[in-house]
A and B are shown apart, each in its own frame.
Chain A
Amino acid sequence: MTEHVLKINNLRVESVSGLVLVDNVSLELKKGEVLGLIGESGAGKSTIGLSAMSYARAGCRITGGEVLINGTDIRKQDAEGRRDMRGKRIAYIAQSAAASFNPSHTIMDQVCEMPIQHGLMSKDEARKWAIELFTSLGLPNPQTFGDRYPHQVSGGQLQRAMAAMAISCRPDILVFDEPTTALDVTTQIEVLALFKKVVKEYNTAALYITHDLAVVAQISDRIMVLRHGKMVELGTTEQILQQPKEAYTAALVSERKAADHIAEDVKVEHNEPLLEVKDVRASYGSFEVIKGVSIAVAKGETVAVVGESGSGKSSMARMITGLLARTSGTVTFKGKELAPNYKHRSREDLQRIQLIYQLPDVALNPRQTIGEIIGRPAQFYFGMSPAKTKERVAELLTQVGLPVDYAGRLSTALSGGQKQRIAIARALAANPELIICDEPTSALDQLVADEILKLLKKLQDELGLSYLFITHDLGIVRRIAHRTAVMLRGEIIAQGPTAQIFNPPFHPYTENLLASVPEMRTDWLTDVLAKRQQKTA
């Protein structure tokens, strides 16, 4: 047996159209070692992870290099040989557990399937082993947990169940592909800790793929930074975090660090409130999502609403815009009450509040040119002539930092960040006073997201806009919000100037939320867990 359980030499992956996705990447993994692969989207992280199992997504081909698992090149095996190695020697944990489980089989059946299929265990043995895994992954009622169906457990539990599935054959190598990205911060912390424990307990080697440096810092021994399919830098975790050699790594690190500090220049002045929400309740059917919420936004102010998924923060945006009709309470804009349903609001009311969505891909009509998308609000609200609309579109494009000749293009040809700029330009075209931003940066890469935040800030200074900023990312809140409201299960549990919310005395939930945001030091996870244990002890 060779020293390295996984050794990838000069890997090259191309798309069918000839685009090089991964270019000459080599890496090696010792038993029990965790290597973090980090980079922005399109860096080739996931492609490398899948290549480690000699698997290429539809439309891609592995065109060069070798992938040695315990010294055997999996690429040279026939289909049967590869099938035997996958799952047994190397296993994969995907980002979306919900999409990886078959909804019509119980979790137990799916976790046991692999060892039985590979002929490693009998049915009863597999069952016992699965229960043992459930226990060590901290799943509730491990004896009966497996009898449930995937939709009957929470996202964090399902992610852990998928880890159980991957470990079920005791593979030498685990590939984690952004396993905590879809989870809330408070859940992420538990899952991360359990992954760390399991990797140690079974002495498994792992590739950990993520875009979040702080997450990878907690679990990996070494980090490889990737960009455009090429390796930028490889080093120990400490070295990458403390003394990055390459400029790109340094940019990633400093960007992530910036999120840890509260912006000092935040001014807190209280003008007449622009938007006032008082004691509002709203529900989907019989399920109440907003339970008596009050919040106000003044002119030129940014108010952040933070909370985890399911806290009702997006429903609040929908309620204010009138997409979700409130059942009681009042929403006033400049002292005038807004109708609960957008259909009953005047054109002027609609024009004053604009919305920016999380996913720019579905927020822009793929069959309209950018000129049409941005020009329409100008035409619709202000009756501009075609020539004037054209001028206005050019002005708006310049304002959001895009070339004027983009007006003739379709949005499908743009990158995520550019699309979000178009969405911002469309909102601006209506000359709004308040823009509701619903997680506008969470689908974007860190550096791109940072640019968008800067743009929003610049526009606020120039145009005196107010923002209601909905996000789950506390780093963003600290940097841009004047005031912050923390939401939990449809209620606002804490509200006030950002500096006050982020400094003691905390509301217990806020404290928990804050403590769950990964920090850029390798011992952070151990610290937090130690603190938690002290509390419960």
Chain B
Amino acid sequence: MKIFGYKPTLSAWVGIFIVTFFLVLAIFAPWIAPYGEAETVGRTFGRSSAEFWLGNDNIGRDILSRIIYGARTTIGVALVTTILSFTIGTIAGLMAVVGGPVIDQILSRFVDIMLSIPLLVFALIVLSMFGSSIPTLIMTIAILDSTRVFRLARAVSMNIAVLEYVEVAKLRGEGLWWVMRKEILPNALPPMISEFGLRFCFNFLFVAGLSFLGLGIQPPLADWGGMVRDSGKAISFGLPAPLWPAMAIALMTIGVNLIVDWILSINARPSGASAEM
């Protein structure tokens, strides 16, 4: 079988399988999950049984159901964040390239300042100031993350903007928007696609991390990072409750990375900037 005209490697197939599996869980969560998202159905830290496959959490909710619902929130928030950060970052990156040295300087120096502040600290401050709702969470991470996308988009487009077909378009009298959208963007996309996967992983881990600290997705919504925090104490009683969501986080990250590795290998172009963090 071929995907986009390329044959996936074995590890890519594993990645595709894992990611598809979680996506199906996320999309069809209400139909798949045996119990409700916030329903208390068993005893605190109940052991796994035929009724509750993965046992119960700190207030007796079914862990399996929460992992299935959690796929929805965690992956959903990470995906929306990544799409948003790519849109902002790419547009800004292209603007910096075609808009002339002044715009480039302003944007680049602003990004430098943003990058000099530790990401987690910045996010924690913003979220504790504005309170943690899903829109704030998405906006905060997206804006912080877009600085990294900006760097890549700018570096890649910089190499394309000096090519002669771009010069031809400028000499024809085309506007900035056309040059950005029609001449540069289609040629900048291939190296950016694999970066999308990597940024998604990072955002996904970041959301989970913030939730673990209690500043991410708020209860009663299930999310994997928050679930590790909720059931964290169980580990000292020798119970596996926090390990299940942790495993889901790890699996998803590995799955996406396997796919990204494959895309990078078929699309081995120097992308100008590396995927930092």
A residues with a Cβ closer than 8 A to B are: 321-323, 342, 345, 347, 350-351, 355, 357, 359, 362-368, 376-377, 380-381, 426, 430
Contact = CB atoms under 8 A, between A and B. Distances in A.
Given A362-B164, A368-B182, A380 B174 contact: yes
A188 B215 CA distance: 70
Contacts of A351: 172-173
Contacts of A377: 172
A417 to B, nearest CB: 17
B171 A342 contact: yes
A367 B165 CA distance: 11
Interface in B150-194: 163-165, 167-168, 170-174, 182-183, 186-187
B165 A364 contact: yes
Given A365-B183, A366-B187, A368-B182, A323 B172 contact: no
The number of chain B residues touching the other chain, given as a range, is 10 to 19
Contact of B164 (A322, A347, A359, A430): A359
A426 B168 contact: yes
Contact of B170 (A342, A376, A430): A342
Contacts of A359: 164
Q: Which of B173, B182, B186 has the most CB of A within 10 A?
A: B173
Interface of B: 163-165, 167-168, 170-174, 182-183, 186-187
A323 B174 contact: no
Nearest to A411: B165
Given A323-B171, A362-B163, A364-B165, 17 more contacts: A322-B171, A342-B171, A350-B172, A350-B173, A351-B172, A357-B164, A357-B168, A363-B168, A365-B165, A365-B182, A365-B183, A366-B187, A367-B187, A368-B186, A380-B174, A426-B168, A430-B172
A323 B162 CA distance: 12
A387 B164 CA distance: 28
A470 to B, nearest CB: 14
A367 B173 contact: no
A350 B164 contact: no
Main secondary structure, interface of B, reads helix
26 contacts: A321-B171, A323-B167, A323-B171, A342-B170, A342-B171, A345-B173, A347-B173, A350-B172, A350-B173, A351-B172, A351-B173, A357-B168, A362-B163, A362-B164, A362-B165, A363-B164, A364-B165, A365-B183, A365-B186, A365-B187, A366-B187, A367-B186, A367-B187, A368-B186, A376-B172, A380-B174
A362 B163 CA distance: 6
A323 B169 CA distance: 12
A437 to B, nearest CB: 13
A46 to B, nearest CB: 24
Nearest to A358: B164
Contacts of B171: 321-323, 342, 350, 355
A345 B183 CA distance: 21
Contacts of B170: 342
A366 B165 CA distance: 9
Contacts of B182: 365, 368
Contacts of A350: 171-173
A368 B166 CA distance: 12
A346 to B, nearest CB: 8
A357 B168 CA distance: 10
A49 B219 CA distance: 71
Nearest to B174: A380
A376 B182 CA distance: 11
A189 to B, nearest CB: 31
A430 B187 CA distance: 24
Nearest to B165: A365
B158 to A, nearest CB: 15
B220 to A, nearest CB: 47
